[in-house]
Amino acid sequence: MPKFHAQHLLTEPKKLPPPDEFEHHFGEYDPEPVKTLLSWTAPSRPFRKKDRSFYTTVAILIVLISLIALLAGQLLLVGVLLSFGFLVYVLNFVPPEDIRYKISTQGTTIGDHFYHWQELDSFWFTKKDGNNLLYILTRFRFPGALIIVLSPDFEEEQIKTIVARYLPFHEIAPRSLMEKWSEGLQKHFPLENPHS
């Protein structure tokens, strides 16, 4: 019968060395420490207060299309158009709240949402309604892209240098067919007076 040597419960256990004396071997990979690179507060979405002509034009278009839909017996379409009109009013009349943006060595934070660099695809800059924007494509179906309102305190080149460490940069902003169609329509049929 084999002999078993059990350590008595009252004996003092062997002391482990402090954590800083352990050697970690990661091969060639040296993990980057978690560090905030940039942080600022800005509106949650691009915003520019529209003039009265914008709301008048949108209202006229919705009323005309709704009348055509009523004559065609499409009551559901009328409901959709009224909902769309309300959404346009809210997004363009009510200013957005300010939220905190953060770019770190691990990813980017927008308000309460964090996106790791591995979940993101590429980025570019654009301007809309007087705001400088950073667009970041994601690897998700939704949201397909993150729209980050930039702070005037930071230069675009400074942000580009930091984000380009982790993601490829688009020199020319990619635009979908819908965006091109929308821009062309807005150019030929503006919803606001040109002087505004």
In a domain, 95, yes or no: yes
Is the pLDDT at 154 greater than 80? The verdict is yes
pLDDT of residue 150: 93
pLDDT of residue 158: 92
Residue 29 lies in a domain: no
pTM value? 0.66
pLDDT at 25: 45
Look at residue 26 in the predicted model and tell me its pLDDT.
43
Q: What is the pLDDT of residues 163-186, one digit of tens each?
A: 999 999 999 888 777 776 766 666
**Structure tokens, 175:** 């635009």
CA 173/CA 131 separation, integer angstroms: 16
In the predicted model, what is the mean pLDDT of the chain? Answer: 80
| pLDDT, average across residues 148-163 | 91
111 found inside a domain: yes
Q: Which residue has better confidence, 41 or 10?
A: 41
Domain-embedded: residue 21: no
Number of domains in the chain: 1
Instruction: Determine the 3-state secondary structure of 175 from DSSP.
Output: coil
Name 122's Cβ contacts closer than 8 Å, sequence gap at least 6: 136, 137, 167, 168, 169, 170
The 10s digit of each residue's pLDDT in 87-105 is 888 888 888 899 999 999 9
| Residue 177 within any structural domain of the chain | yes
**What is the pLDDT at residue 137?**
93
The pLDDT of residue 182 is 67
DSSP per residue over 8-63, as a string? PTTSPPPPPPPGGGS----TT--PPPP-EEEEEEEESS------HHHHHHHHHHHH
Planar angle of CA 57, 61, 64, nearest 5 degrees: 140
Instruction: Tell me what the mean pLDDT of segment 56-80 comes to.
Output: 88
- The domain spanning residue 104 has which CATH number? 2.30.29
Has residue 169 been placed in a domain?
Answer: yes
Q: Which amino acid is at 137?
A: L
In tens, the pLDDT along 7-29 reads: 444 455 555 445 554 444 444 44
In a domain, 30, yes or no: no
Number of Cα atoms under 13 Å in the Cβ half of residue 99: 17
Helices (H), the chain: 52-71, 75-93, 156-163, 177-188
> Domain containing 91: what range?
36-187
How confident is the model over 71-95, as a mean pLDDT?
87
Q: Is residue 24 part of a domain?
A: no
Amino acid type, 190: P
Sign, CA dihedral 79-83-84-86, equals positive
Who has greater pLDDT, 76 or 191?
Answer: 76
